[in-house]
Amino acid sequence: MKDDKIYVLLGAGGHAKVVLSLHQAAGLKVVGVCDPKLVSAGALTWQGNDVLGGDEALAVLDSTQTRLLNGIGIMPNQDLRGRLQAHWEARGFIFPVCVHPTAWVAPDAVLGSGVQVMAGAVIQPGCTIGAGTIINTRACVDHDSKIGKQVHIAPGATLCGDVTIGDGVFIGAGATVVNGREIGARAFIAAGAVQVDDAGENERSFGLYTLRKRVSQ
The CATH number of the domain where 74 resides is what? 3.40.50.20
In a domain, 1, yes or no: no
Q: How far apart, in Å, are the Cα atoms of 188 and each of 80, 137, 142?
A: 17, 19, 20
pLDDT at 52: 95
pLDDT at 45: 95
**Which of residues 75, 96, 117 is at a domain's end?**
96
Looking at the fold, whether 88 and 116 belong to one and the same domain comes out as no
| CB 88 within 8 Å of CB 28 | no
How far is residue 26 CA from its own chain's centroid? 17
Looking at the fold, whether 210 and 114 belong to one and the same domain comes out as yes
Task: Return d(Cα 57, Cα 207) in angstroms, integer.
Answer: 44
pLDDT at 2: 52
Domain that holds residue 170: 97-217
Q: Which residues of 9-37 are buried (b: 16+ CB within 10 A; e: fewer)?
A: bbbbeebbebbbebbeeeebebebbbbee
pLDDT at 215: 46
pLDDT at 76: 83
Task: Return d(Cα 42, Cα 60) in angstroms, integer.
Answer: 21
- Which residues does the chain have with pLDDT short of 70? 1-3, 209-217
| CB 26 within 8 Å of CB 101 | yes
Task: Return d(Cα 142, Cα 102) in angstroms, integer.
Answer: 17
| CB 108 within 8 Å of CB 124 | no
pTM of the full predicted structure? 0.92
Q: Torsions phi, psi of 85, nearest 5?
A: -65, -45
Looking at the fold, whether 87 and 134 belong to one and the same domain comes out as no
What does DSSP assign to residue 49? E
Query: 170 - beta bridge partners?
Result: 152, 188
214: exposed, middle or buried (C-beta count within 10 Å: 0-12, 13-18, 19+)?
A: exposed
pLDDT at 59: 87
3-state secondary structure of 10: strand
Q: How many domains does the chain have?
A: 2
